[in-house]
A and B are shown apart, each in its own frame.
Chain A
Amino acid sequence: MNRKVALFVPCFIDHGFPQAAIDTVTVLRRVGWEVVFPEDQTCCGQPGFNTGHWKAARPCAERFVRIFSDYQHIVCPSGSCTSMVRKHYPELLASSPWHGEAVAVGKRVFEFAEFLVRVAGVTDVGASFPHAVAYHPSCHATRELGIYAEPLQLLRAVRDIDLRPLPKEAECCGFGGMFSTKFGMISAAMGDTKAVNIEQSGAEFVTAIDPSCLMHLSGVFGATGRKLKTIYLAGVLAGSSASRTTAGARESAR
């Protein structure tokens, strides 16, 4: 097998939370995979699709399919964006000339944890993370893609980690893309409920395979004066310190 992956970096990660993608590169390389980044990529179109702007989303989707059609393995540090390509492109592009290619590309796009465990066959990446951590199973990864065991397998293999069970783990954190801005008050209330559950777990960090959930939760923690910290899964696996988390970035920016 050609051990090369093309990195699909969601637009908000590229410009807002690059550390999630950087840590993804670090871990993929550590387990022996070559990483390429097709620089022509922009956005998969999920924001448009989810808000009913399918006309705006369609060219994004066609563009994505064209750019990634040559790659055998495409890896994405987001369950939600992976789900957009795999589960929703076939419908969005139902009458597009790119439909067939979209279905084919969808089968080659993998969420990062899913890729490590199911494709690369790795569960122990040799990381160490001496903190109490709760895993938040994000909605699209868990319910649309069926990715649940894989991130937990990876986390259990981390040295010195204190993995805490999260009460009511399956409940949404409240991000929901544009929902978080259209109905900010509901989104924040849901984030608050999630925060209460994370606090109950006794964890110092919450991790997930969707940086978007963490971006939202980090904002809610900050607004409600909580000391909880967020870290994307690859951050844990890269063995990175707290200063490289989104919460850490906030602290260092102050």
Chain B
Amino acid sequence: MSTAAREFLRKAIVKSADLEHRATIQRAIVTYDAAVAKGKLRFADWEAARTLCAAIKADAIANLAQYLTEFEQHVIGRGGHVHWAENADQANDYVVELARARNVKTVVKSKSMVTEEIRLAAALEKIGVTVWETDLGEFIVQLRHEPPYHIVTPAMHLSRRQIADLFRDKLGENVEDGDPVRLVAAARVALRRAFFSAEMGISGANFLVADSGMVAISTNEGNGRLTTSIPRIHVVVTGIEKIIPRMNDLAALWPVLAASGTGQPITTYSTLVRGPRAGGEPDGPEEFHVVLVDNGRTELLANPETEEVLKCIRCGACLNVCPIFRHVGGHAYGTIYPGPIGSIYTPRTAGLSEWGHLSYACSLCTACKGVCPVKIDLPKQLLVTRRDFIATGNVKPAERAGFAAFRWAAAAPARFRLLAWMGCKALAAVNALGLSGTALDPVRVWTKYRSPMTLPKQSFREWWRENGNK
């Protein structure tokens, strides 16, 4: 078992039994579910909207190189820079070198999962740059030295009380009643100072528009606009799969992303930026850089079976609907992307042997498939990840032996009966000796969390022999 698998098991045991955590997440999900149900009603035909978005993203992925080149030409044409990074190091090195060359002391960041994925903030901090997360949720988890809990709502796991305590300890702000308005005001004071002192703003991108070279950023706090317009350098760090063909596609993708992510009609601030300040413009950055990150994405693309995973628009709907996510929470996974999409994405891009266990952290309930706004067949992806995990030799000897025995037995009813009979006798003995759930119980993996298995006096086929033809 990999280190990551052991860690996941350890955290899952703790979180599964944490009733306070369960209640916090259930409350958050109830609010989310109600908002999304209402949000979907704004569409004349939600299914048609999903189908359209799935088709747009499928086209983008099928012609990825062509659209990215088109995007790049537009950016360069307006005086921007485009850097293609094969991996995390190449992306971080580019931004770190830029910060060093321009004597950057302070960076403000708007929310970006890709920068979490490549650990950009840590790379900048290493050379002495101060990095401010400016999304409120990200700001909160940064103060706690925690990774985001959820890809859309990073501080979903925290109560107002906990945030008030955090602000008291870290910001010296006393908001005793945990009033959200006052908490936001406290964060705002700290962040405004950062915005106006930063020399570099780093954002992600929700979409890169090929036909116009535009970068689309959705935020609910306006921090994306401040990040991209106040500091003299703006760096966009984003995954190559964020490309979409046309500006018009945003008419479908923006409302669908908002509906799936939070239930909003459209995210409060839907920003489009396209390069450095042009002549005659009163504001905007002097320099504009786009770092296009691969970091394993072309491996997904190279395999026809997995390329659809790149359609993901990071809305978080599959996390929210996932009963495993709801019970273990976002931190247990040990990944940047938790939940169903993360349990596919992580093994595929960061290593099957280390992360393949996550594809099994799923009861195959298939709820995620129904909510994905770009119609990724997530359950199928989880199944084929499992298949490839096993095919690459990642299987415990006991499980391998078990399936070998099963295969042998299933080839003939007499053998299957024998195996079942042996199993029943063993279980009956365990139960008779009162050993159910103990270390000596062969089905302890079951009985550890459930009452003892009881067995019938006869199998169905035995009953059938006696009664079937009556």
Complex formed: what's the CA distance from A21 to B411 in Å? 22
Work out how many contacts link A and B, with CB atoms closer than 8 A. 192
Known: A48-B403, A170-B367. A222 touches B451 (CB 8 A): yes
Whether the Cβ atoms of B410 and A186 lie closer than 8 Å is no
Whether the Cβ atoms of A52 and B410 lie closer than 8 Å is no
Complex formed: what's the CA distance from A17 to B412 in Å? 21
Whether the Cβ atoms of B361 and A16 lie closer than 8 Å is no
Is A241's beta carbon under 8 Å from chain B? no
Known: A59-B410, A186-B361, A190-B327. A181 touches B445 (CB 8 A): yes
Known: A52-B387, A172-B323, A186-B324. A39 touches B461 (CB 8 A): yes
Complex formed: what's the CA distance from A216 to B449 in Å? 10
Whether the Cβ atoms of A9 and B365 lie closer than 8 Å is no
Known: A171-B323, A186-B16. A37 touches B468 (CB 8 A): yes
Is B84's beta carbon under 8 Å from chain A? no
Known: A47-B406, A56-B406. A219 touches B386 (CB 8 A): no
Chain A residues, Cβ within 8 Å of B399: 51
Interface string of B407-418 (1 = CB under 8 A from A): 101111100100
Return the contact of A188 from the options B328, B449, B460 (Cβ within 8 A): B449
Whether the Cβ atoms of A40 and B365 lie closer than 8 Å is no
Whether the Cβ atoms of A176 and B410 lie closer than 8 Å is no
Chain B residues, Cβ within 8 Å of A14: 420, 459-461
Chain A interface mostly: helix
Return the contact of B446 from the options A19, A55, A180, A253 (Cβ within 8 A): A180
Q: What class of interface size applies to chain A in its complex with B?
A: 35 or more
CB distance from B450 to the nearest CB of A (A): 3
CB distance from B301 to the nearest CB of A (A): 21
Nearest opposing residue in chain B for A222, CB measure: B451
Return the contact of A143 from the options B22, B366, B450 (Cβ within 8 A): B366
Is A140's beta carbon under 8 Å from chain B? yes
The chain B residues found within 8 Å of chain A, CB to CB, are: 9, 12-13, 16-17, 22, 26, 323-324, 326-328, 359-367, 369-370, 380, 383, 386-391, 395, 399, 403-404, 406-407, 409-413, 416, 420, 423-424, 445-456, 458-461, 463-464, 467-468
The chain A residues found within 8 Å of chain B, CB to CB, are: 9, 11, 13-19, 21-22, 25, 35, 37, 39-43, 45, 47-56, 59-60, 63, 91, 139-140, 143-144, 170-172, 174-191, 193, 216, 218-223, 246, 249-250, 253
Q: List 25 A-B contacts (CB under 8 A).
A: A16-B453, A17-B456, A18-B456, A22-B460, A22-B463, A43-B406, A43-B410, A48-B403, A52-B359, A53-B403, A56-B407, A60-B407, A143-B369, A144-B366, A177-B363, A180-B446, A181-B446, A183-B361, A184-B448, A186-B327, A186-B328, A190-B323, A219-B449, A220-B450, A223-B451
